[in-house]
């Protein structure tokens, strides 16, 4: 069977999938055979090795990036009556955590090229109630950190980075997460490094020491400190914390994935190069950008359809790729059009016109290190076939 002029794949190509080998299996089995499967020695090792990789002052392993962001805001003392500036072009978790602490999310539109928060518009959104800027490194392209740091410093605000997409991105030569402010990472199944579910918070060691208490019931000692040889059973609850700790089973995966990360990234860049080469001269397609001062993490390859060039919209484009057995996704449905935020804050689609306009023409193509050249070739041919079939 053929669709257009391209032979249909016999199997569906998923948008993303984790890449595990025997090393991960062995490390997990070793954990299961040990005397410790929850937060313990491997979690500690993962924290140390992750911090060393980033050249970060410290790291705290948690069960998700959402947990890392929430923990960061709680540790900073952000709560009712406060405001946190962030972007509408993100997954809901980035904004949900602001609601969780009782603060008000203040959205600022995005840059047309990177789809990151527009630092030039942030200052106008700052009020006496603003406590923090929560910046999201969209798709793996770092935000304009110099501009945001300057604003945070001038207005005495905390800068929290959502780096769910940004491992191992660099800004002006330095890995994202290598500084003293709070930076949250995701190790979800689709991420560049995965522990199935999981996350990490990096930053100042004193800040992380307080965050560690917040992240485990507000307790003064974790289970490893209490139950390992020489530990003490005694602990105190210092505040009403949360259950956000990472397990040693997850950390076992993370330790192996961290050692493979550079190889994974080489393959991601090879796939990106093939996509760019194939789509660069197609007038209907707009490629993702990379500014000269950054190194993109390439968590996502976000393609845009140029208005007026095709007889179909983005949704139909995605449907036709699915009919050719190519999986895609959309990153993201902007926060301000989701019913909860739309209704609570009275947003309209054009309240943030750049985010809304770009959302309507974006789609994310398959991008992971498990893609073969044949897989990439089929994605390319399927995309171009849809374009050829529906060109104006």
pLDDT tens by residue, 338-367: 999 999 999 999 999 999 999 999 999 999
Q: State residue 227's pLDDT score.
A: 57
Query: In sequence order, what DSSP letters do the residues of 337-379 get, joined into one string?
Result: GSHHHHHHHT--GGGSHHHHHHHTTEEEEP--TT--HHHHHHH
d(CA 336, CA 142): 22
High-pLDDT (> 70) share of the chain, % = 96
Closest CA to 256 of 44, 61, 49: 49
The mean pLDDT of 98-102, rounded to a whole number, is 98
Q: State residue 35's pLDDT score.
A: 87
Domains and CATH numbers, the chain: 22-258 (3.40.640.10), 261-389 (3.90.1150.10)
Q: State residue 1's pLDDT score.
A: 34
Among 13-22, 52-61, 147-156, 217-226, which is the least confidently predicted range? Answer: 217-226
Active centre residues (catalytic): 191
Query: Do 215 and 60 contact (CB within 8 A), yes or no?
Result: yes
pLDDT tens by residue, 228-279: 666 777 889 999 999 999 999 999 999 999 999 999 999 999 999 999 999 9
Indicate the helix (H) or strand (E) that contains 167.
none
At residue 141, does pLDDT exceed 80? yes
Q: 158 falls in which pLDDT band (50, 70, 90)?
A: very high
Determine if residue 163 is left, alpha or beta; phi over 0 gives left, psi from -120 to 50 gives alpha, anything else beta. alpha
At residue 205, does pLDDT exceed 70? yes
At residue 129, does pLDDT exceed 90? yes
Q: What is the largest CA-CA distance in the chain?
A: 74
Among 219-223, 269-273, 325-329, which is the least confidently predicted range? Answer: 219-223
At residue 222, does pLDDT exceed 70? no
At residue 5, does pLDDT exceed 60? no
84 phi/psi in degrees, rounded to 5: -130, 125
Query: In sequence order, what DSSP letters do the residues of 78-131 get, joined into one string?
Result: --TT-EEEE-SSS-THHHHHHHHTT-EEEE--B-TTT-SB-HHHHHHH--TTEE
Q: State residue 226's pLDDT score.
A: 56
Q: 45 falls in which pLDDT band (50, 70, 90)?
A: very high
Q: State residue 235's pLDDT score.
A: 87
The mean pLDDT of 284-297, rounded to a whole number, is 98
Q: What is the mean pLDDT of the chain?
A: 96
The mean pLDDT of 101-128, rounded to a whole number, is 98
Closest CA to 106 of 84, 124, 127, 121: 84
pTM: 0.96
- Written as six digits, the tokens of 176 are 């994202």
The mean pLDDT of 20-31, rounded to a whole number, is 98
Q: State residue 283's pLDDT score.
A: 98
pLDDT tens by residue, 276-289: 999 999 999 999 99
243 phi/psi in degrees, rounded to 5: -105, 80
Question: Angle between the 248-279 and 373-389 helix axes, to the nearest 10 degrees?
Answer: 50
Bridge partners (DSSP) of residue 162 are: 136, 184
């Amino acid at each position: 069977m053929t669709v257009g002029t391209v032979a249909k794949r016999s199997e569906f190509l998923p948008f993303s999938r984790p890449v595990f080998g025997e090393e991960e299996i062995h490390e997990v089995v070793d954990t299961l055979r040990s005397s410790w499967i929850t937060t313990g020695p491997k979690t500690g090792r993962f924290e140390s090795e992750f911090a060393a990789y980033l050249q970060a002052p410290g790291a705290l392993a948690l069960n998700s990036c959402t947990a890392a962001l929430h923990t960061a805001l709680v540790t900073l003392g952000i709560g009712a009556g406060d405001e946190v500036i962030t972007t509408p072009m993100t997954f809901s978790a980035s904004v949900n955590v602001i609601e969780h602490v009782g603060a008000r999310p203040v959205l600022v539109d995005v840059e047309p090229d990177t789809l990151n928060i527009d630092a030039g518009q942030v200052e106008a959104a700052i009020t006496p109630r603003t406590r923090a800027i929560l910046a999201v490194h969209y798709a793996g392209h770092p935000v304009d950190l110099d501009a945001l740091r300057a604003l945070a410093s001038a207005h005495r605000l905390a800068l929290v980075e959502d780096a769910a997409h940004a491992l191992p991105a660099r800004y002006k030569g330095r890995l994202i997460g290598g500084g003293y402010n709070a930076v949250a990472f995701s190790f979800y199944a689709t991420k560049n490094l995965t522990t199935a579910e999981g996350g990490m918070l990096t930053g100042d060691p004193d800040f992380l020491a307080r965050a560690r208490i917040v992240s485990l019931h507000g307790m003064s000692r974790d289970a490893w400190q209490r139950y390992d040889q020489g530990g003490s059973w005694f602990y105190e609850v210092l505040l009403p914390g949360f259950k956000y700790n990472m397990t040693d089973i997850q950390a076992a995966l993370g330790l192996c994935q961290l050692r493979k990360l550079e190889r994974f990234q080489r393959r991601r860049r090879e796939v990106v190069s093939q996509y760019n080469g194939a789509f660069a001269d197609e007038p209907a397609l707009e490629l993702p950008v990379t500014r000269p001062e950054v190194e993109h993490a390439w968590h996502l390859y976000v393609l845009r359809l140029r208005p007026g060039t095709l007889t179909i919209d983005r949704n139909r484009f995605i449907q036709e790729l699915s009919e050719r057995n190519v999986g895609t996704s959309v990153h993201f449905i902007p926060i301000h059009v989701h019913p909860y935020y739309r209704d609570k804050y009275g947003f309209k689609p054009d309240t943030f016109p750049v985010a809304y306009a770009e959302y309507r023409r974006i789609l994310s193509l398959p991008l992971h290190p498990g893609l073969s050249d044949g897989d990439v070739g089929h994605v390319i041919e399927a995309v171009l076939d849809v374009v050829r079939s529906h060109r104006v």
